[in-house]
């Protein structure tokens, strides 16, 4: 019998979160960001679950776009990082992928192609990862005209650096730069808006927003957990309690002996560890739950197991499922305890953990 460590995926919750994104994005449309294997939830089931609602998907790379096509879905797929080789442009044409072109290097590839895909141009308004500076845009447009590629241009994209922080003025500055830089071409579409931007009051979303983490119930905002923003948890990560015992006051638990019981403590071992993607940096005190009762981790997370304090759950027995995150314990809470963000936890669940869908 397989061990019952599992990531349960609630596709109904995913759809509700997508609808919330649409409400916040309106009148802009929302392209569903399903990169990194649907943020660890499985790109194909996630894309299929949103197929009746989402007019477009967005992914990071070609392999992810192809996974959507292989599943038989026909919507356009935006490739947020563009293409990595000129030959990929031909595939984009055939498959209806929309690469985001961000460098002169990529524009030169367009010139080499007989057939051109529809595409977007990335504007660097301050994130300083990818894109053309506002001052370069006129030249980019001349170049596209010169090589006859202008008809394929759908519009402009930019990405916010600090939208998670309502106290930052950066998003307003980036929005103003984007608006000004693209104002000469009102016939073209514009896309801004990661999940966080959906929660900034009054934030313009232009034509297309690009929600990712919020679809999966993770909070995009600093110091907020998903449910506080109206988001439903999508993944419940569960693993069985495989043994229970009482450690005596003064004894230690696990590698390094860092946790010392301050009193006799009933504890349990749970069949999940960093080999499953559970974060090793989640230390003593990180919340989990058993039978709806919150409990805490103790000691160091091992590769295949972790220890929990069962003082709060005297009825917990071997075989009971422990929730590592889900409806009782928010993934954002665990992320905070591990010094990271829900994005990393969700995308980090390894192939050893089966995904079960409902």
Ligand X SMILES: *Cc1c(COP(=O)(O)O)cnc(C)c1O
Q: Which is nearer to ligand X, 64 or 276 (CB)?
A: 64
- Residue 151: exposure state from Cβ atoms within 10 A (0-12, 13-18, ≥19): exposed
Closest distance to ligand X from the beta carbon of 279 (Å): 18
DSSP 232: P
Interaction mask 172-211, ligand X, x per CB under 6 A:
----------------------xxx-------------xx
Window contacting ligand X (CB under 6 A); options: 212-220, 231-239, 244-252, 284-292:
212-220
Q: Does 43 engage in binding with ligand X (CB under 6 A)?
A: no
Q: Which is nearer to ligand X, 196 or 349 (CB)?
A: 196
Active site residue: 18, 35, 39, 122, which one?
35
Q: Which is nearer to ligand X, 54 or 306 (CB)?
A: 54
Q: Residues 47, 80, 234, 247: which binds ligand X (CB under 6 A)?
A: 80
Closest distance to ligand X from the beta carbon of 137 (Å): 18
> How far lies 263's CA from each of 101, 135, 247, 315, 316, in Å?
61, 66, 8, 19, 19
**Site for ligand X (CB under 6 A): how many residues?**
12
Residue 101 tokens read as 């072109």
Q: HSE-up of 255 (CA within 13 Å, CB side)? A: 10
Q: Which is nearer to ligand X, 106 or 286 (CB)?
A: 106
Cis peptide preceding 270, ω within 30 of 0: no
**In angstroms, rounded to a whole number, what is the distance separating the alpha carbons of residues 212 and 55?**
15
Strands 119-122 and 153-157: parallel
303 is in an annotated binding site: yes
Q: Residues 131, 220, 273, 321: which binds ligand X (CB under 6 A)?
A: 220
DSSP-derived 3-state class of residue 140: helix
Residues 86, 77 contacting (CB under 8 angstroms): no
Query: Which residue lies nearest ligand X, judged by its C-beta?
Result: 212
Q: Which is nearer to ligand X, 116 or 210 (CB)?
A: 210
Closest distance to ligand X from the beta carbon of 144 (Å): 21
Q: Residues 212, 254, 287, 321: which binds ligand X (CB under 6 A)?
A: 212
Closest distance to ligand X from the beta carbon of 169 (Å): 19
Residues from 148 through 177 that contact ligand X (CB under 6 A): 159
Residues from 15 through 34 that contact ligand X (CB under 6 A): 33
35 is a catalytic site residue: yes
Residues 171, 125 contacting (CB under 8 angstroms): no
**In angstroms, rounded to a whole number, what is the distance separating the alpha carbons of residues 157 and 56?**
15
Closest distance to ligand X from the beta carbon of 173 (Å): 18
**In angstroms, rounded to a whole number, what is the distance separating the alpha carbons of residues 91 and 162?**
34
> How far lies 151's CA from each of 75, 83, 89, 188, in Å?
20, 19, 15, 11
Could you give the maximum distance between any two Cα atoms of the chain, in Å? 78
Chain positions contacting ligand X, by CB under 6 A: 33, 35, 80, 159, 194-196, 210-213, 220
User: Which positions are catalytic?
Assistant: 35, 255
Q: Which residues are annotated as a binding site?
A: 129, 303
Q: Which residues are annotated as a binding site for substrate?
A: 129, 303
């Amino acid at each position: 019998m397989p061990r019952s460590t599992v990531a349960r995926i609630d596709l109904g919750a995913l759809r509700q979160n997508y609808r919330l994104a649409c409400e916040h994005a309106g009148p802009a449309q929302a392209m569903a960001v399903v990169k990194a294997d649907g943020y660890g939830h499985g790109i194909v089931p996630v894309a299929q679950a949103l197929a009746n609602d989402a007019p477009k998907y967005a992914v990071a790379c070609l392999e992810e776009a192809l996974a959507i096509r292989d599943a038989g879905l026909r919507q356009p797929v935006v490739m947020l990082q563009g293409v990595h080789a000129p030959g990929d442009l031909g595939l984009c044409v055939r498959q209806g992928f929309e690469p985001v072109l961000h460098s002169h290097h990529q524009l030169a590839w367009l010139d080499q192609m007989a057939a051109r895909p529809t595409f977007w141009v990335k504007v660097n308004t301050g994130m300083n990862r990818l894109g053309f500076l506002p001052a370069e845009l006129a030249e980019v447009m001349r170049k596209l005209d010169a090589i006859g590629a202008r008809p394929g241009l759908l519009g402009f994209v930019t990405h916010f650096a600090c939208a998670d922080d309502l106290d930052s003025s950066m998003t307003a500055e980036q929005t103003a730069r984007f608006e000004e830089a693209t104002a000469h071409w009102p016939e073209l579409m514009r896309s801004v808006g990661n999940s966080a931007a959906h929660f900034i009051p009054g934030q313009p979303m232009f034509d297309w927003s690009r929600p990712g983490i919020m679809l999966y119930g993770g909070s995009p905002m600093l110091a907020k957990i998903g449910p506080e923003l109206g988001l439903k948890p999508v993944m419940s990560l569960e693993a069985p309690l495989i043994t229970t015992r009482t450690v005596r006051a003064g004894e230690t638990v696990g590698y390094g002996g860092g946790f010392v019981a301050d009193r006799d403590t009933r504890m349990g071992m749970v069949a999940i560890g960093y080999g499953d993607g559970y974060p090793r940096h989640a230390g003593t005190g990180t919340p989990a739950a058993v039978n709806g009762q919150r409990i805490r981790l103790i000691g160091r997370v091992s590769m295949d197991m972790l220890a929990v304090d069962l003082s709060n759950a005297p009825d917990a027995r071997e075989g009971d499922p422990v929730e590592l995150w889900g409806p009782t314990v928010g993934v954002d809470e665990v992320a905070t305890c591990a010094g990271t963000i829900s994005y990393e936890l969700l995308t980090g669940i390894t192939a050893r953990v089966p995904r079960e869908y409902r």
